[in-house]
Structure 1
Amino acid sequence: MDEDVAVVIEDGEDIRELLAQVLTQGGFTVHVAADGVTGVELVREHDPIVVTVDVNMPGIDGFETARQVRAISTAYIVMITARGDEIDTLVGLQTGADDYIVKPFRPRELRARIEAMMRRPRVLASTHPSPPLPTGPAPTVAAESHPGPAAAAASAEAPAEQWSEVDAEFAPLEHRGLRLEPGARVVELEGSEVELTRSEFDILRMLLGSGRRVVSKMQLAGMLRGERGEPDHYLSEHDARAIEVHVANLRRKLGESPSEPRWIETVRGVGYRRTA
């Protein structure tokens, strides 16, 4: 089995070595670069599954580096920044980053974030992979042929609920001219495709699939980390800000005004829900 590959793009030697150590302990084959240009070439050469990018670097900064990486790779991108300013978060996520972490950070937190990202599909919403096929016996379709008794018995024993669950999981979601296809990870607005990041796609899917039920920022943050159910961790300021930025980017790409929402309503102090 091929080993997972990671690329670390960081100009600070101490942080670069720490990131490489954390990823190596996580089972990755790690390649490191001290600048953005070299880092992009490493991504092109090794096709990593994870890329960490420092925001403040000589030459091309982390934002431009992330843009160039995203143009050639579907790798998970984690921005590493020494600042917690909202503008850094906004720009970083707009470049296609999946997550960001503020220095100083704990190695355990970085590992947890990467593990959570890797539980999500490694594709962009603008790509068109075939939806996963259900496992188990194939359903019998009424036709002119007449199956024998053994085939008929096998068909009768096939669990119908298995198929209904698969159909429900990958059934398209539609709301006011917006169509989301979970299996293909495609979003279309009035027939035209909308390019979204993984996080934006997953947030939109959760909101559309929740009907009029309010989805909290904590639930959205937990979903992006791969948690099931209501997360029991504390929602940090950075977590809440990241969700707000993802939703702002999503609204911008859909052409929606927060004051006159067509698809996503803000429930102040709580989270978001689908419009009526």
Structure 2
Amino acid sequence: MSEPEEIDLNKPNAARVYDYYLGGDHNFAVDRAMGDDAIRMWPELPLIMQANRAFLRRAVHYCVDQGIRQFLDLGSGIPTVGNVHEVAQLAAPDSRVVYVDTDPVAVAYSRTLLEGNDQASIVRADVRDPEAVLNSPEVAEQLDLDEPVALMMVALLHFVDDEANPREVITRYRDALAPGSYLAISHATDEGRPDLADEHADLYRKRTSTPMTMRSRARINEFFEGFELVEPGLVYMPQWRPVSPSEIDDNPERFTALVGVGRKL
């Protein structure tokens, strides 16, 4: 397929760098250069990104087990193995998924990936504008907001700075969702490896158009206002309902992201 327009090949893109960490091929030389610089600084980054992807899979399975059949994945990024619709529809074929991203590469590849799947769609929109997302034709077609929805904010909110007021953004999504809906969050924190966090965040600030804001456990916990955290609460990635010994780690703090799933009251 041809590359979409509006791509700045002189600046790394966070979604494409993430794809590179995961071993994907939807990235460019500028993204790989930044990824290599970040890995030299922090060699465990690919492992951390894989753990984040594993959390997403476990969170989707959990929501399916609770009877959820609708998923709204914000900041979905570049398609790679283990997307929400693949996990959800394998477990429950009637699951419906809407992806949302603003990056033209992510949107273009997502549209190609979803061809022929009438139960999954992609919206190109800014997740910081909940009304634009929720009023999109794709959401209207795929999701019934009068029924519970799983709202996925995985590796997203640390790219929403305080000026954009992420807590208010979440509130606007929450208020549009039916009781019994779920919110899944993974968020980079500066508490696990404070010796590396500032330098890593500075790399994103200088090199990309999506600077990173790492937050404390207390700040991240505030994002679940109006939701009841399910066990085990807000924890490091390997600690959230691991399903195999390979997902358990004796030093979970090294994964430097806190994750949780909450149920709307």
TM over 0.5: no
- Structure of larger gyration radius: 1
TM-score range, shorter chain: 0.3 to 0.5
Instruction: Give TM-score, length-normalised by structure 1.
Output: 0.32
Task: Give the TM-score normalised by structure 2.
Answer: 0.33
Tell me which of the two structures has the higher relative contact order, counting C-alpha pairs closer than 8 angstroms and 6 or more residues apart: 2
